[in-house]
Amino acid sequence: MKSAILSVWRFYVNGFRNMTLGRTLWLIILVKLFIMFFILRLFFFPDFLNTHAGDDKGDYVRNELIRRAIGNESLPDNTH
């Protein structure tokens, strides 16, 4: 089992070592992933839970789940 994993590892290491255009493509892929997961998250996905729940995140989530499951608006509103 160890020799199979080692041979697969060597196969990929030798493949990446001999790449010329592939390195540029991997760099482009990594830059795009960085932009998608770090830069866009800052601007388009704000931290909703911190702005609406404050310190009582667990209670806020529990109350929202119960409120939506029941469909009842009589529960206390935890939005600040």
Q: Convert the pLDDT of each residue in 20-66 to its tens digit.
A: 888 888 889 999 999 888 888 888 877 777 777 777 888 888 888 88
Q: What is the pLDDT of residue 73?
A: 61
> Could you state, in order of their start, the residue ranges of all structural domains in the chain?
1-45, 46-80
Indicate whether this model's pTM tops 0.95.
no
Q: What is the pLDDT of residue 76?
A: 60
DSSP 22-62: HHHHHHHHHHHHHIIIIIHHHHHS--HHHHHHTT-HHHHHH
User: Which amino acid, residue 32?
Assistant: K
pLDDT higher than 70, residue 75: no
